[in-house]
Structure 1
């Protein structure tokens, strides 16, 4: 999602108009039908991603072939061996550094032994959603949540931002878990498979080619010319990244709508709408961290964040909703505007299939209490880093 900033040029404005029409079309499709038929652009993305991975594999094979020639296999002469070695070394180094990475999920592990009731709730919600795979959990200090895949076995990992968790009412927590688990059921073109692998390779390629900013600032004329050549070479993978994301953008945003609607079926549309509404106020976490640091009135910053959400004047809620209603997205944006998501959820009212009582929610809070101090410190450190310079 990008803020409502005026595009800089005529081409930017024209491209943004296309994105605006696409976002509105997708919103109206889901408001009219919970499972609309979407264009097949994602199939083109998978074909392009497969070609990118084949190209990466071909470069690796070429490097290996040159290495074998450099080692004297094939009866090549001494000069050809040196030439092959000079070609093999940078090529194999490049393909190694730019190789696809095993997916990793960062966060504080939350094993079942330390939070049995929360794990039980996740399993119950998973059954209601239709997800039976075991799901690991990690905690983060953010006002956010995510579903990721970890390790060579692509183990599902649910990441819960403790700030967001404490800022939600009980039924909204059910909606949060249901939404993230729904991504395992519905799929997302960039969460796994060939597109994610290709994006991984392209991002690594750009990181290899793009000059280090510190070294670039100190470079002389020869180094600046070399850096300019490297930046030119990086334009191709950068362009492919934007092309891939543009092709799967509608599918990514559709995945969010599907997850919203499935979460509304499990937790109730009112709870899901409440969750989206509270996400409008995620920025208040910074205010809570600041206040807790200078004028603490509650046990921790997460409790302060929840107090702010619970006592925010209606006029301020309305103002922020209006601001978010003007937010615009790019064609490669992974999430639709929150206002559009609210409109779709409210178009399909649902009663909850699974409820979480305030008493059970309090027991879950008690389970997570031992993690509060460390994650509050991490959130404060990150906030100070962002605001210090």
Structure 2
């Protein structure tokens, strides 16, 4: 558990530090002084949003490449026909374009959705899910993923990450400049000292950790919302049954880090480790559905 948390943190913080180093170099190249907050903010926004938006635009391609997912273009058997027909029916009810439907080879029960456009997304299920779940349970899982697409969760997550990255890059340089000025005296005409760059790298890590906690808090919230959407599309009893099946058979996810937050299940922790998890505990998700008002399966467009 802690190894996976450390890997997640190291990956995200390494990206932020790399962006910070490149930004600091360009800051000197273009002669943007520490006192020019507007210039620093513009550069922070370009770098902060640039990476998250590029990842969003490439998300379907990355997901297919990293999972080896097979996109069903012409169903080869009854199972594939059922998958495509179910996703089409749910997409129409949710008011979105028909997603690509794919299967990827993995032993665990899992599925994910991704894509930069709610009318051109990808919904994929694992071979383990198709073997272990009943049709009703699989229908609920598909409804959960279609709800992610209908809610625009992929785009919202990318925008939130862009805002947080911008905050980290900007705040680290403003606070770093203030600390450098306090400890090093007036160097504005000569530019920042070496201590400034050390402080900024430390602040990138600290602020990046806080930003990751905020991003994961939103990720956990959207799982509850997708469960509610799945219950509306497929029926609450089916959604609860699917989550109960996941809780009985949950194992370590083999999804790549790039799409792990978009799977229906993900590792959960307690205490501090829970703050860095993309998914809430399955028992909390089941309890939330049980306490929600009863809704009939939806034929109404979701907004």
* TM-score, scaled relative to structure 2: 0.55
Task: Evaluate the alpha carbon distance shift between residue 130 and residue 190 of structure 1 in structure 2; reply closer, same or farther with a 3 A threshold.
Answer: closer
For structure 2, list consecutive stretches of 5 or more residues without a partner in the other structure: 3-15, 32-46, 168-196, 254-266
Q: Distance in 2 between matches of 1:189 and 1:112?
A: 23
Asked if the contact 2:97/2:119 (under 8 Å) is kept, the reply is no
Equivalent residue for 1:349?
294
The range that moved more, 254-263 or 193-202, is 193-202
Equivalent residue for 1:280?
247
Task: Evaluate the alpha carbon distance shift between residue 179 and residue 351 of structure 1 in structure 2; reply closer, same or farther with a 3 A threshold.
Answer: same
Per-residue CA distance 1:64-84 (angstroms, 9 max, x = gap): 659xxxxxxxxxxxxxxxxxx
Task: Evaluate the alpha carbon distance shift between residue 232 and residue 135 of structure 1 in structure 2; reply closer, same or farther with a 3 A threshold.
Answer: farther
Asked if the contact 1:190/1:196 (under 8 Å) is kept, the reply is no
Q: Map 1:119-138; keep pairs closer than 5 Å.
A: 119-132=84-97, 134-138=99-103
Q: How far off is 1:255 after superposition? A: 0.9
Q: Map 1:258-273; keep pairs closer than 5 Å.
A: 258-273=225-240
Equivalent residue for 2:151?
186
* TM-score, scaled relative to structure 1: 0.44
Q: Distance in 2 between matches of 1:191 and 1:179?
A: 17
SS of the aligned residue for 1:147 comes to: strand
Q: Distance in 1 between matches of 2:93 and 2:21?
A: 41
Asked if the contact 1:189/1:251 (under 8 Å) is kept, the reply is no
Per-residue CA distance 1:269-325 (angstroms, 9 max, x = gap): 111111110111234799xxxxxxxxxxxxxxxxxxxxxxxxxxxxxxxxxxxxx99
Q: Distance in 1 between matches of 2:248 and 2:198?
A: 38
SS of the aligned residue for 1:280 comes to: helix
Q: How far off is 1:267 after superposition? A: 1.1
SS of the aligned residue for 2:115 comes to: strand
Q: Which has the larger radius of gyration?
A: 1
Asked if the contact 1:190/1:252 (under 8 Å) is kept, the reply is no
SS of the aligned residue for 2:114 comes to: strand
Give the number of aligned pairs.
211
Asked if the contact 2:213/2:276 (under 8 Å) is kept, the reply is yes
How large is the Cα RMSD of the aligned pairs? 4.5
The answer to whether 1:109 aligns with 2:54 is no
Q: Map 1:311-350; keep pairs closer than 5 Å.
A: 330-347=274-291, 348-350=293-295
